[in-house]
Structures are given as structure tokens and as C-alpha cells.
Amino acid sequence: MAHRWKNDLTERDVTPEGAWLTRRGLMAGAAGAGLMALAGRGQAAEGPEGLEPNTWEEITTYNNFYEFGTDKADPARHADAMTIEPWSVRIDGLVERPGDYALEDILSRMTIEERIYRFRCVEAWSRVVPWNGFELADLLEVAGVRPAARYVAFETYLDRSEMPGTRLPVLDWPYVEGLRLDEAMHPLTIMATGIYGRDLPPQNGAPLRLVVPWKYGFKSIKSVVRITLTESEPPTAWNKANPREYGFYSNVNPEVDHPRWSQATERRIGAGIFASREPTLMFNGYAEEVADLYAGMDLTENF
């Protein structure tokens, strides 16, 4: 499959966790699932800003996974309780081959790649994450998308006994998300299975989570158990909770502020307390790859 997108973050930017990205580390991480791991497949030019991926510690101890509580430390504290084995994903709706797909069977058909992406939360913090994963388009191809499908709906695992945060009606559980089909099929859109060549930790959405790097972080739904192809726009968790503040598209856009704060700048996690905020980039820096998807659309109206 041809990758026509440009990635300005490379394997060389990975430090000090670069040790995990040795061939041996990657192969070991992938061996359990019988995978072929390919590192640094992106066409890489060194980023002009000298971006560096965040550390494993920074990525795995400051999280949003409200099923385990709303404090940033709650997911790392509680998500270990989540049963992630066995895992299957129900793929249904407008597909040729609906069914419950066991994770092992999915992984045996996918090629795991490394994708170093910027990640921008709607709360205006950001970091850089070296994901491992496969393109969502490749998984949808396995299920066979029917011509009438126009959207893709996603659902997170829900077991209230394992997820203390779900005892409060913070969101309408299970957490649900959605993409337009062309967004879902875009080569930048991946299902992540790991970070730094290691299995995805539960707090980051083990064993399988969506990553859409040009959208606010909440679109990147964790611990996915169901993918449904639909004809109409599916409901999404944050839009249901507060439609005025969280739209369906939620593309990163420095020109469209959140009703309660500016989206023009962001705080890079790990930058230190004296570091200045950084300018937020249109589509989180992926405009060249994805702006065409929204040609002719009013991005203020379709926020």
C-alpha cells in the first residue's frame, strides 16, 4: 500500500526511549501476535521544529480515560482492572462480512507499522507519541464496506465493575465516537496496538484504540469493541454531553476557539514549567494531508 502522506517525525527523533525501537525490541513486541514489524515507514524529513516524542512515562501517566475516573492519574491507577484478554471487535452494519473478529485474527492479517504523530487534546495540551498500529482502512477492507456506508461508528468496552468512573454519569456510557467514511479510510487514520514497540498499556486504550492525529484527542476512542458502518452520522460521546462545545468533526483548528478557552496555542507535556506555549497548527500539522477532505466546508460551522 502506498503511503502518500508526509511525516516530519522520524525514528531518529525517538529519544531516550529509542532503545525500544531497535529491531529486536520491535520484533519482541510483535512476536506474541505473530506480526511483522516495520519501523519508520513514513517518508521522513527531519521536522523543522526539532520535535521529540514524549517519554513513555509522560505518555502513560497523564491520561484521559473517563471510564476510570476524571483525574489524569486515574487511568494509570485503575485501568489494569480491565479484562483485555480475550478481545474481539464486532464489525457490523453496512459491511459484507459482519461478525465478531478475534483480535489475534485481526492482527494476523495486519501489518504493524510505527507512526510518530502529534497528539492534541481539546484541553490544549499536546504531546508526540510513537504509536505502533495498522491502518483502519486495512481492517475495514477485511470486513468489506458496502457502497451505502458513509460513516463509521466506534464503541468502547464497558464493564461497570471494572470501570469505577462509569458509576458517575459523566458521559453516557459506553463511550462512542464516529468518523465520516473518507476520514476513516484516510491513510493517517490508524488503529494503535502499541507505543514504543510495547503493547498499548490499558490506560492508553489497550488492546486496540483509534488514532486520528488531525482531530482533537477525544476522537481517538480507546479500547474499541465495536465498529459499525452506517448511512447517517453516528452519535458521539462528547457531542451528546455538550453539543455546543464539542462537534462531530473536532478537527484541530487554532482559529476556532472552544467556547471556554482559546485553541490558538497549546502546552507541550514535558516541556517544563518555564517553556512557552506553542502555536497550534491547522489540522494539528497535517493540513497538507487532510485539508482536501473538508474542501468547501465551513469549519467554524462544522467544528
Give the CA distances from residue 202 to residues 3, 21, 205, 256, in Å, rounded to whole numbers and listed in that order: 29, 21, 5, 32
How many other C-beta atoms can be found within 10 angstroms of the C-beta atom of residue 153? 22
Distance CA 16, CA 87 (A): 32
- Binding mask 35-64 vs ligand MTE (x if CB under 6 A, - otherwise)? ----------------------------xx
> Residue 43 or residue 262: which is nearer to Mo ion going by CB?
262
Residue 234 contact partner, candidates ligand MTE, Mo ion, none, CB within 5 to 8 A by sort of partner: none
List residues near Mo ion by CB under 5 A. 64, 121-122, 217-218
Q: Which residues are annotated binding-site positions?
A: 63, 66-67, 121, 156, 204, 209, 220-222
Q: Which does residue 204 touch among Mo ion, ligand MTE, none (CB within 5 to 8 A, set by kind)?
A: ligand MTE
Residues present in the chain in total:
303
Q: Which is nearer to ligand MTE, 220 or 253 (CB)?
A: 220
Residue 175 lies near ligand MTE (rule: CB under 6 A): yes
For residue 229, give the C-alpha cell.
Answer: 458502518
Instruction: Supply the DSSP symbol for 244.
Output: T
Minimum CB separation from ligand MTE for residue 175, in Å?
3
* Residue 218 in the binding site for ligand MTE (CB under 6 A): yes
For the bound state, the minimum distance from the C-beta of residue 296 to ligand MTE, rounded and expressed in Å, comes to: 29
263 binds ligand MTE (CB under 6 A): no
Q: Helices (H), strands (E): how many in the chain?
A: 8, 15
Q: How many CB atoms within 10 Å of residue 235?
A: 12
Compute φ and ψ for 179, nearest 5 degrees. Answer: -135, 155
Would you give the binding string for ligand MTE spanning residues 83-122, x where CB under 6 A is met? Answer: --------------------------------------x-
3 state SS of 183: helix
249 binds ligand MTE (CB under 6 A): no
Instruction: Kindly state whether residue 166 participates in binding ligand MTE, applying the rule CB under 6 A.
Output: no
Please report, for residues 37, 57, 74, 115, 177, the alpha-carbon distance to residue 186 in angstroms, rounded to integers and kept in the order given: 21, 30, 32, 14, 16
Q: Which residue has the cell 474542501?
A: 295
Query: Residue numbers of the site for ligand MTE (CB under 6 A)?
Result: 63-67, 121, 156, 175, 204-205, 217-218, 220-223
